[in-house]
Amino acid sequence: MKKLYYFLMICALTVLSSSLTFTNASAAEPDYNPSRAYQNGTYYQKLKAVSLGDNQNENLVAVALSQVGYHEGNNLNDISGTSKGSKNFTEYANTRYGVKGGANWCAYFVSWSARQAGIPANIIPNAAGVGTLRNGAGTYYDISSGYQPVAGDLFLLEPVNNNGNYYVANRVNGKANLSSHVGIVTGYDSGSKRVYFVEGNSGYNNVRSSNFILPSQRGNNLHIQGFMHPSYTKAANAAPAAQPKADVRVNFADYLAKQSIGTTNAVLAKTITVENTSINSVSKVGIILYDSSGRQLASKGEKPVPVGNKINAWYDVNLELKCQLAPGTTYQYKFYAVVNGLTYYSTTWSFRTNAAVTVNFSAYAKKYWIGQTNAVLSRTITVQNASIKDVSKVGIALYNVNWQYIGGKTEKPIPVGNQINAWYNVNSELWVRLNRRTKYYYRFQTTLGGTTYYGDWMTFTTK
């Protein structure tokens, strides 16, 4: 009976074992000599507790998530992860990669996580900067491509200017030429388009996990630039969830029929066309206005009205953006278009407002004369920061001693060189007969670019 029992047990185990798949699992072990501070902290124990499987992308995510909460320190002895420092000292950069001082460490954290997950450097390289990962960690998918990220991908943020403002980097052969930050995708919900991620050197000086909604931005204008899909040799669900269609291209061209630059105002205009999609898929167009340092001043977006296969968009800065410009000042702006739910930005352009126009009224003694009941009143008119040919009208207004208007005239001027000599006979041109020994007031005026400029009040007394 015992022999029969053992025989049946062996058969049962044989059948059971044939229905099971065994995964080779191992504990995560550092590939370097950790610092004493890190070994004595909780995040070293959390790393050691990670069980690595066959799938490289899952291993990367598991290692990175084990470090959530790790906080940077203030010196090389302050890198256990439990510090509240802010000097950019970390186990990831200072110990594993031998950095001597404080350093931005988002890329170091990604590379450190890859090494501890057993992923070789030819898949995710050792990186001191984001550019190394952008150019060497697999296939780049721009945010405009419609790519749906998977766990183990890397996400990139747009670059930052000197004032801390994010801007859209130039694309060279479809790839951004600058990035400011990198993190690891831990999951993606296609229904809500929500990307889950873990990142180091976040705005909170730590390793944190969070999420954002595709396609364009998360908190404080942090614009998502695109994703890197590493060439894992073994990965679960590592193939793109949906291969992107032919890249949609949005073109922004000059629309000179509406563009104009003035002294304190401007009308900014572009013609928008699209490729690989319909112009009717553009749901919104708009403009963002910045000062010369990149600080945003105003913006406006609206539903477009296509004209054939294009959209002509223009904005009056004073009337539509509610922004008064300063004379002789440089500004920047860019247009954008929302196409199939994705936001596409133009390059950043700049313009300079015209310098303030100055109109000068000076004496023209050659034609000035005062009599008993008549006078000839004259001034020489010159302009600065404008052409004398742009003066469309000149004129005079005459008042009596009680400041009552008694006569005047305007006319189209005839410039002589770079000036206008204007004079008026009060009797024959203003149709006013003056009283003897009486005081009068007058001033000249000119119209330039739709604006009327006035000279100083002048006075004379008849004989």
- What CATH number is attached to the domain comprising 345? 2.60.40.10
What is the pLDDT, as a whole number, of residue 21? 35
What is the pLDDT, as a whole number, of residue 117? 93
What is the pLDDT, as a whole number, of residue 361? 97
The answer on 348 and 382 residing in a single domain is no
The answer on 433 and 365 residing in a single domain is yes
Pick from 242, 260, 263, 31: nearest CA to 145: 242
> Are 365 and 393 spatial neighbours (Cβ–Cβ below 8 Å)?
no
Give the whole-angstrom CA distance, residue 399 versus residue 415: 27
- Domain assignment of residue 331, given as a range: 249-352
Tell me which of 352, 371, 392 is where a domain ends.
352
Which tokens in the block code for residue 268?
A: 């900014």
Q: Is residue 214 part of a domain?
A: no
Pick from 287, 362, 345: nearest CA to 321: 287
What is the pLDDT, as a whole number, of residue 447? 95
The CA-atom distances, in angstroms, between 429 and each of 81, 154, 362, 423, 425 are 90, 80, 21, 10, 5
> Are 408 and 397 spatial neighbours (Cβ–Cβ below 8 Å)?
yes
Give the whole-angstrom CA distance, residue 282 versus residue 230: 32
The answer on 392 and 307 residing in a single domain is no
Q: Is residue 329 part of a domain?
A: yes
What is the CB neighbour count within 10 angstroms for residue 289?
Answer: 20
CA atoms within 13 A on the CB side of 255: 17
Tell me which of 313, 331, 352 is where a domain ends.
352
The answer on 253 and 339 residing in a single domain is yes
Pick from 221, 225, 211: nearest CA to 147: 225
The answer on 271 and 339 residing in a single domain is yes
Give the whole-angstrom CA distance, residue 455 versus residue 460: 15
The answer on 326 and 369 residing in a single domain is no
What is the model's pTM? 0.49
Residues of the chain falling short of pLDDT 70: 1-25, 164, 215-222, 235-247
Tell me which of 352, 375, 407 is where a domain ends.
352
The answer on 375 and 323 residing in a single domain is no
Q: Is residue 302 part of a domain?
A: yes
Q: Is residue 72 part of a domain?
A: yes
pLDDT in tens, 16-27: 333 333 345 677
Q: Which residues contact 141 (CB under 8 A, 6 or more apart)?
A: 147, 149, 226, 227, 228, 229, 240, 244
What is the pLDDT, as a whole number, of residue 17? 36
> Are 394 and 445 spatial neighbours (Cβ–Cβ below 8 Å)?
yes
Strands (E), 371-436: 375-384, 391-399, 405-411, 420-425
Pick from 434, 445, 306: nearest CA to 376: 434
Give the whole-angstrom CA distance, residue 315 versus residue 124: 46
The answer on 80 and 35 residing in a single domain is yes
The answer on 337 and 395 residing in a single domain is no
What is the pLDDT, as a whole number, of residue 279? 94
Q: Is residue 148 part of a domain?
A: no
- Please state the domain count of the chain: 3
Question: Tokens 């110990």 correspond to what residue?
Answer: 95
Question: Tokens 């296939």 correspond to what residue?
Answer: 139
What is the pLDDT, as a whole number, of residue 25? 61
Q: Is residue 449 part of a domain?
A: yes
